[in-house]
């Protein structure tokens, strides 16, 4: 069987705690999303979730660790690179924006079903802006705006070079700025801020109340071994007591953030060979002055410096965390051999295997500029960090900002037939040919497109059930546009956005071409 046969599996393993139908490793947004999807599609499934920490959503999913809280490609300039001929490639932006609308629909369904008491606990309207300075960057942003607004997903995006308009949109960033400087910005009013930590905690609270679902905190998965019958033996250690046990499952999802790569390598599946990881740490400057925080209400992304990697895109970011408005600037990158914020310094060395050492060396040699960038970031002084902030907030005072540690990212290194090994900045799902195990690797846009990513996983690993009439009907109930692209239908795009905005309590602006 090339794919998991869920029906026969259920009769064989149903009701045995040691042998659940599904094992989810990691208690972040990805496992939460997959767990809810599976229980909605097949309520009698048994699921066990294993998390090495004592709480859920404490690593990359946490609002203070997550570099992006609502990636919808409205303002992230690294999603729209300029081609050698000067034209703008908007294909990635369209894909991400379309995927984010899928997430919004699923979240609206969750609110309607009572998974979340108040949508404002995790999602709020925050305008998304791109902001640049200098003639070349202004022209880039103008071309980007022209290209994006041809698509329904970006209709309504406003472009301006008018300083009065900029003063209205971003007063904190305009105060003290050189008026002779060439400036430009685009604005999407229907942008949002998403607290994935809060959303994830809500989903796990509900999952734990469902029959057949068990969440194990302080439990670390040590080994994974496939059995002759294609099931997986999972060896788990209770970190608190030291007890060890083995369980058996027909499907395993590895959604452990930076910890996914070592576990994928332990599966020994051919599809995982050659993968490596390059860990990157992060830091934020967090505003401590409420008066300053109140002056800014937007997510504003700039353009990375020439030669800098995509992860370095600077942004001044309004977020709603624990019901309070926060203001962050960054990210400032750094290097650590840990794959998780609460990981081990041995994570990187222990991930190096015979089958991935060549791709990792090749990728390292091809990305010496990235290495130099990270070294420079680590060596940055407080004055240098403040200089970067003042490019966005000219009047920023050092006393108003505090440096805080963000999360760890593990960028994907994979084999390439031509270059030997390449470093990728994105998210990738690696699944076995028989569909019995799957792992999520990478970083941005990650959480914002979690629903689309998990739907793709279900299509690959639960192919028979996915194509069934029952699952198709349920998927359309959860995601009204299921099977259709909002990028190709302006009327449907407006209808869906109006619906999700109403359910999620968001401001809605009917999008029309500018």
Q: What is the pLDDT of residue 334?
A: 64
Question: Which residues have CB under 8 Å from 107's CB, separation 6+?
Answer: 116, 119, 122, 123, 199, 500, 504
Q: Average pLDDT, whole number, for the chain?
A: 86
pLDDT digits (tens, 9 = 90+) for 217-237: 999 999 999 999 999 999 999
Q: Per-residue pLDDT for 39 more than 80?
A: yes
User: What is the spatial distance between Cα 114 and Cα 22, in angstroms, rounded to a whole number?
Assistant: 24
User: What phi and psi, each to the nearest 5 degrees, are found at residue 411?
Assistant: -75, 145
What's residue 78's pLDDT?
Answer: 87
Q: Would 178 be classed as within a structural domain?
A: yes
Mean pLDDT of 78-100: 95
Most confident region among 28-42, 264-278, 307-321, 336-350 by mean pLDDT: 28-42
User: What is the 8-class DSSP label of residue 82?
Assistant: B
Using pLDDT thresholds of 50, 70 and 90, give the confidence band for residue 11.
very low
**254 found inside a domain:** yes
pLDDT bin (cut points 50, 70, 90) of residue 175 is: very high
Would you call 440 helix, strand, or coil by DSSP? Answer: strand
As a whole number of angstroms, the distance between CA 429 and CA 438 comes to 7
Q: Rounded to an integer, what distance in angstroms lies between the CA atom of residue 272 and that of residue 412?
A: 12
> Which CATH number belongs to the domain containing residue 210 in this structure?
3.50.50.60
DSSP state string for 137-171: HHHHHHHHHHHHTTSGGGTT-EEE--HHHHHHH-H
Q: Which domain holds residue 66?
A: 6-504
pTM score, whole prediction: 0.87
Which residues are within 8 A (CB) of 265 and not within 5 positions of it... i.e. 6 or more apart? 272, 275, 351, 353, 356
The mean pLDDT of 16-41, rounded to a whole number, is 91
12 has a pLDDT exceeding 70? no
294 within domain boundaries = yes
Per-residue pLDDT, 344: 65
Please report which residue ranges of 332-468 form alpha helices under DSSP H: 347-351, 357-366, 368-378, 382-390, 450-461, 463-466
74 in Cβ contact with 188 (< 8 Å): yes
219-226 and 401-416: which strand pairing? unpaired
Query: Of 483 and 70, which is predicted with more confidence?
Result: 483
- Contacts of residue 494, Cβ cutoff 8 Å, sequence gap at least 6: 152, 510, 511
Q: Is 443 within 8 Å of 260 (Cβ atoms)?
A: no
Residue 262 lies in a domain: yes
Look at 196-200, 215-219, 380-384 and tell me which has the smallest mean pLDDT: 380-384
Residue 107 lies in a domain: yes
* Angle (deg, nearest 10), helices 450-461 and 29-41: 50
For residue 416, tell me if it sits in a domain: yes
Is 336 in contact with 345 (CB distance < 8 Å)? yes
For residue 513, tell me if it sits in a domain.
Answer: no
Residue 94: half-sphere exposure toward Cβ, Cα within 13 Å: 18
452 close to 287: Cβ distance less than 8 angstroms: no
Q: How far apart are CA 356 and CA 252, in angstroms?
A: 23
Q: Say whether 93 sits in a helix, a strand or coil.
A: helix
Per the structure, the count of domains in the chain is 1
Can you state the angle between helices 91-112 and 450-461, rounded to 10 degrees? 90
55-69 pLDDT per residue, tens? 998 877 777 767 566
DSSP, collapsed to helix, strand or coil, labels residue 44 as coil
The pLDDT of residue 358: 59
Which of 407, 406, 413, 309 minimizes the C-alpha distance to 351? 413
Residue 229: Cβ within 10 Å count: 8
Query: Under 8 Å CB-to-CB from 257, ≥6 apart: which residues?
Result: 26, 28, 59, 60, 61, 339, 340, 408, 410
Domain annotation covers residue 509: no
Give the list of residues 6+ apart from residue 509 with CB closer than 8 angstroms, or none.
Answer: 156, 189, 190
Within 13 Å of residue 368, how many CA atoms lie on the same side as its CB? 2
How does pLDDT run across 338-373, given as a tens digit for each residue? 656 566 666 655 566 666 665 556 655 565 566 555
Q: Using DSSP bridges, classify how beta strands 244-249 and 232-238 pair: parallel, antiparallel or unpaired.
A: antiparallel
Q: Which residues, including other chains, have CB under 8 Å from residue 198's CB and lie 6 or more apart?
A: 63, 121, 122, 322
Percent residues over pLDDT 90 in the chain: 64
pLDDT (0 to 100) of residue 206: 95
**With b meaning 16 or more CB within 10 Å and e meaning fewer, what string describes 128-154?**
bbbbbbeeebbebbbebbebbbebbbb
């Amino acid at each position: 069987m090339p794919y998991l046969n869920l029906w026969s599996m259920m009769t064989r393993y149903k009701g045995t705690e040691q042998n659940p139908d599904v094992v989810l490793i990691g208690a972040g947004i990805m496992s939460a999303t997959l767990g809810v999807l599976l229980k909605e599609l097949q309520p009698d499934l048994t699921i066990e979730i294993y998390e090495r920490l004592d709480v859920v959503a404490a690593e990359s999913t946490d609002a203070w660790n997550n570099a992006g809280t609502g990636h919808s490609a409205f303002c992230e300039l690294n999603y729209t690179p300029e081609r050698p001929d000067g034209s703008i490639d908007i294909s990635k932006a369209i894909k991400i924006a379309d995927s984010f609308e899928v997430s919004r629909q699923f979240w609206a369904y969750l609110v309607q079903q009572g998974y979340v008491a108040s949508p404002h606990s995790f999602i709020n309207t925050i305008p998304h802006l791109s902001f640049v300075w200098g003639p070349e960057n202004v022209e880039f942003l103008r071309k980007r705006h022209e290209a994006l607004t041809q698509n329904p997903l970006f209709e309504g995006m406003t472009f301006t070079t008018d300083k009065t308009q900029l003063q209205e949109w971003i007063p904190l960033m305009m105060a003290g700025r050189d008026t002779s400087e060439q400036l430009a910005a685009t604005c999407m009013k229907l942008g949002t801020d998403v607290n994935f930590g809060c959303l994830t905690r809500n989903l796990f609270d509900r999952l734990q109340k469902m029959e057949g679902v068990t969440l194990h905190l302080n439990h670390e998965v040590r080994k994974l071994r496939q059995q002759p019958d294609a099931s997986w033996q999972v060896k788990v250690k209770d970190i608190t007591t030291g007890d060890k046990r083995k369980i058996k499952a027909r499907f395993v999802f590895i959604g452990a953030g930076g910890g996914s790569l070592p576990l994928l390598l332990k599966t020994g599946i051919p599809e995982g060979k050659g993968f490596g990881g390059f860990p990157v740490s992060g830091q934020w400057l967090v505003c401590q002055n409420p008066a300053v925080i109140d002056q800014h209400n937007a997510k504003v992304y700039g353009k990375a410096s020439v030669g800098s990697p995509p992860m370095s895109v600077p942004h001044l970011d309004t977020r709603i965390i624990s019901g309070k408005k926060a203001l962050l600037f960054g990210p400032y990158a750094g290097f650590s051999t840990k794959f998780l914020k609460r990981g081990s310094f041995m994570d990187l060395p222990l991930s190096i295997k015979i089958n991935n050492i060549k791709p990792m060396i090749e990728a390292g040699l091809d990305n010496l500029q990235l290495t130099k960038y990270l070294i420079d970031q680590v060596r940055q002084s407080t004055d240098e960090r403040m200089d970067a902030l003042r490019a966005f907030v000219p009047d920023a005072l050092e006393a108003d900002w505090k440096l805080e540690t963000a999360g760890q990212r593990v960028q994907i290194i994979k084999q390439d037939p031509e270059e030997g090994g390449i470093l990728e900045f994105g998210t990738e799902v690696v699944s076995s040919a028989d569909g019995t195990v799957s792992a999520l690797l990478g970083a941005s846009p990650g959480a914002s497109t979690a629903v689309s990513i998990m739907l793709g996983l279900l299509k690959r690993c639960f192919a028979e059930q996915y194509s069934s009439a029952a699952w198709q009907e349920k998927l359309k109930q959860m995601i009204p546009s299921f099977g259709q692209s909002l990028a190709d239908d302006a009327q449907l795009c407006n209808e869906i956005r109006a619906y999700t905005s109403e359910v999620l309590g968001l401001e809605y602006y009917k999008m029309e071409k500018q």
